[in-house]
Amino acid sequence: MSLPPEKASELKRIIHNHLLKMDIHGKIREVLAETVRDDQGPARRSLCEADFLCALQRRGIIDDVMKDLHFTQVLSEDVLFFLSANIDPSRRYLYLQVLGGKAFLEHLQEPEPLPGQVCSTFTLYLHFRNQRFRSKPVPCACEPDLKEGFLLEIHRDANKMADATTMLSICDPVHLVLIKTDTYSETVLVSSYFLDWRAVLSSPSGKTCFAVELLGVGSECKVPAGVLTVSLELYPPLIETLSNDVVGTQQSLERQRTAEKERLFLVYAKQWWREFLEIRTSHQSKMVKIFAQDENGLNRPVCSYVRVLRAGRLLESPRQAARFVSLLAHEKAPVVGGGGGGKQEQWCTLMAFLCRGKGDCEDHATLLCSLLLGFGLDAYVCVGTKAKGVPHTWVLTRGTDGSITFWESLTAHRYLHQTVDPDAPPLAPQPKLSYPYRTLGCVFNHHTFLANCQPSDAVELCIFDFQNQSRWKAMSEEALKSVCAPGSTTSLPPLPPLCAPSLDPAAASNQLELEMRYLVSEHRKDLELATVWDDHLSYLLSSALSAYELERCTGVSCGNEEFQDAVRRAVPDGHTFKGFPIHFLHRNARRAFATCLRSPFCEEIVCCRGDHVRLAVRVRVFVYPENACAVWLMFACKYRSVL
């Protein structure tokens, strides 16, 4: 096997570390001394390398070395994986292997999938210290075949290799998120688990294996979902390991420190809430939310759900960020039985939200606020109500000129806030309200929490002068920082980076367009209609779809004149042109076609009868981070007008 120089040097390093651990130099010295002593007899001759190798073999030293290196089939696969990875010899890595799952009792009766059959799948996602990974999807089963290895970089320092003590102070967990994808491509969050990997620091072999019990989420957060067998191994291995007591003591101290900070914040929050209620008795019914439950049922301060998130080169502007967030599907947290009519409480950690690809309005709003803060805007999450008193969450930004802009995270729509003067004469002109929001209880971001203590919580009457303590009651920034700042507590989930899209937009567009053509042809065949495609007209529709997406991103419409001119040239005199554009968040052709046919305008085009009928269809898939997709589809036809 030919290896590049850096891989060969890393293999040498692994072998060297193993040899040091078994004190190979001391054993060689012993054998050398013994061989020289035996050679002092009357038949004395000069020793050669072959004699020395024979002596080593006789004493079993070579067998011990090979045994210690574990060059069995299992470890040779590990070493090959390690060498094939893009590694740096000066850094410390954790090789995390998932060796299989069991006790996923919900799938106890799941039949074995037939070859080629579409079935529900499990996918495991990992996040550790700004690195994200995902497993291959495997069929759902009581004992799913989740077997995958992930090489996680623990520490990077060009000057010094991290030792056990340094790594013990790294309290970042490995966040495991298990997602189930059904046969209709709908995703379900199965479990969200934070793994403390530092047990490997006390393992004499530098390797440990244990079972991880995954719990459900939401209302099932106390119910076991299944068990994963996990193996952890350090590369390169530690020369000196820590004792179990040292690792256990460090973890215990971290838990105590976190518990004390959370206790003190809870005491402060209760006192702050009492003071808020004393201002006005009506405050009891205001939408002021200090804590929210995450997917694991843990109560966390709402400010901890917002962080400054920079998307690097993946998103170019605040409006593009709003478009990306709106492409993540909206789904309310499920309620078992659906009874009670109340709203299920579940705010998701960012990792769980991104892996699932959908969530409630709170998940969208906290993500959008985090991205807008990353773009340097003064952004806040708003908690209030829409029409008919429906609880809702959205985002506001404050301009340096005092202007207030509302951002609807579910649609990417923006609204300029204009204040209504309640004391104005009845006939005085008042601004027309364009936004759907009715009341506002509180606003917050990563370091600020403000409750609305104005006489009325109606949005149109709100004055957003956050420095005015008679209008907005603020929480102590120091108190919020103690439990919400990055690294302040070990219970705070780490912030994952956004992932670049892996989908090829051109290939996805072509595939979906071919499927649409097939579905239209089959539908017309059932109606005993011939189908003739006009490829040139199909191509012309591209510019319209591109303009639609640009308008959704920027709010500016452009390119329509060129599209209309091109269509006029492509449609001969005496012919009629009809077009029907539609937008989707998924790439399922049959679902999209069924939705289109529910529109009488689209059905009129697809089922067009007449003289010299020519059909066209164009699909454009616009891909964003996390493989979020904006799918634009346009059906069109032209035919000779017959009176």
pLDDT number for residue 76: 42
For helices 244-279 and 477-484, what crossing angle results, to 10°? 150
Residue 504 has pLDDT above 50, yes or no: yes
- Strand intervals (E) in 329-481: 329-330, 358-359, 378-385, 391-398, 404-407, 414-416, 439-444, 449-452, 472-474
- Beta bridge pairs of residue 235: 93
For helices 361-374 and 318-326, what crossing angle results, to 10°? 160
Backbone torsions φ then ψ of 202, nearest 5 degrees:
-105, 5
- Strand intervals (E) in 196-277: 207-215, 224-235
Token pair 């089959």 is found at: 522
Euclidean distance between CA atoms 613 and 609, whole angstroms: 7
Residue 101 has pLDDT above 60, yes or no: yes
Q: Count CB neighbours of 494 within 10 A.
A: 20
What tokens were used for 181?
Answer: 């994808």
| Mean pLDDT estimate for the chain | 87
What tokens were used for 273?
Answer: 């809430």
535 residue type, one letter:
D
CA angle 247, 249, 253 (to 5 degrees): 120
User: How do 187-195 and 131-134 pair as beta strands?
Assistant: unpaired
The CATH class that applies to domain 252-332+344-484 reads alpha beta
Euclidean distance between CA atoms 265 and 270, whole angstroms: 9
Report the share of the chain in percent with pLDDT over 90: 66
Q: Count CB neighbours of 189 within 10 A.
A: 23
Backbone torsions φ then ψ of 80, nearest 5 degrees:
-65, -40
Residue 222 has pLDDT above 50, yes or no: yes
Euclidean distance between CA atoms 563 and 301, whole angstroms: 51
Q: What is the mean pLDDT of residues 67-84?
A: 48
User: How do 329-330 and 358-359 pair as beta strands?
Assistant: parallel
Residue 10 has pLDDT above 70, yes or no: no
Contact predicate 397/378, CB 8 Å: yes
pLDDT number for residue 40: 57
Q: How confident is the model at residue 90 (pLDDT cuts 50, 70, 90)?
A: confident
pLDDT number for residue 522: 95
SS3 75: helix
Euclidean distance between CA atoms 247 and 257, whole angstroms: 16
Of the candidate ranges 136-145, 483-492, 502-511, the one whose mean pLDDT is the lowest: 483-492
Per-residue DSSP letter, 34: H
**Burial (Cβ within 10 Å: 0-12, 13-18, ≥19) of residue 117:** exposed
Residue 510 has pLDDT above 50, yes or no: yes
pLDDT number for residue 534: 95
pLDDT number for residue 15: 73
Residue 59 has pLDDT above 90, yes or no: no
Residue 216 has pLDDT above 70, yes or no: yes
Does the predicted TM-score (pTM) go above 0.85?
A: no
88 residue type, one letter:
D
Of the candidate ranges 156-160, 385-389, 469-473, 576-580, the one whose mean pLDDT is the lowest: 156-160
The DSSP secondary structure of 356-370, one letter per residue, reads HTEE-HHHHHHHHHH
Euclidean distance between CA atoms 79 and 18, whole angstroms: 13
Report the share of the chain in percent with pLDDT over 70: 85
CA 298, 302, 308, 314 dihedral sign is positive
486 residue type, one letter:
P
Residue 129 vs residues 133, 169, 310: alpha-carbon distances, Å: 11, 14, 15
Euclidean distance between CA atoms 34 and 218, whole angstroms: 69
Span 519-569, pLDDT tens digits:
999 999 999 999 999 999 999 999 999 999 999 988 888 878 899 999 999
SS3 372: helix
Q: How confident is the model at residue 73 (pLDDT cuts 50, 70, 90)?
A: very low
Span 364-390, pLDDT tens digits:
999 999 999 999 999 999 999 998 889
Contact predicate 288/451, CB 8 Å: yes
Token pair 């651990």 is found at: 21
Q: What is the mean pLDDT of residues 25-31?
A: 71
Euclidean distance between CA atoms 336 and 323, whole angstroms: 32
pLDDT number for residue 238: 87
Q: Which fold has domain 77-242?
A: Immunoglobulin-like (2.60.40)
Q: How confident is the model at residue 60 (pLDDT cuts 50, 70, 90)?
A: confident
Q: How confident is the model at residue 618 (pLDDT cuts 50, 70, 90)?
A: very high
Span 281-329, pLDDT tens digits:
888 888 999 999 999 999 999 999 999 999 999 999 999 999 999 999 9
The CATH class that applies to domain 505-640 reads alpha beta
pLDDT number for residue 5: 55
User: Domain extents for the chain?
Assistant: 5-68, 77-242, 252-332+344-484, 505-640
pLDDT number for residue 244: 92
- Beta bridge pairs of residue 610: none
- Which comes out higher in pLDDT, residue 282 or 465? 465
Q: How confident is the model at residue 111 (pLDDT cuts 50, 70, 90)?
A: confident
Q: Given this chain, do its domains 252-332+344-484 and 505-640 carry the same CATH topology? A: no
